[in-house]
Amino acid sequence: MGKIIDLSVDKLYNSRVVLEIEAAGNEVLTGLMETFSDAMYSELKSGPKSPRLQTIWRLIPDNLKSGESENFSTYLILRRCIAIYLE
C-alpha cells in the first residue's frame, strides 16, 4: 500500500501539470486578496480612489461592509476580505 501512495504522490500530486495549476491558483488568489483589500481599505478609510475600486467595492457583500469606518483596523479589513472567499 505504501508503494501505491508513494507512486500516486509522485506521479499525480507532484506532476508538472498539477504544480503549474496550483502555482497559478496561488497567484490568482493573491491578486484577488490584494484587489479586495485595496477596495475595502480605500472605501473604509478614505473613500474610493478609482472607478476600478468602486466596482470591486460593489462586489463585496453588504454584511461585510457594515460598521463605523473609524473603527476599522487594517487587520479587521483583511479579516473581512478573507471572509469574502469563505462565503
DSSP string of 3-34, one letter each residue: HHHHHHIIIIITSHHHHHHHHHHHHHHHHHHH
Report pTM.
0.64
Domain extent at residue 63? 2-86
As given in the structure block, the three cell numbers for residue 11 are 506521479
Which pLDDT belongs to residue 21? 94
Q: Extract the residue ranges of the chain whose pLDDT is less than 50.
A: none
Which pLDDT belongs to residue 67? 59
Domains of the chain: total? 1
Q: How many Å apart are CA 12 and CA 42, to the nearest integer?
A: 42
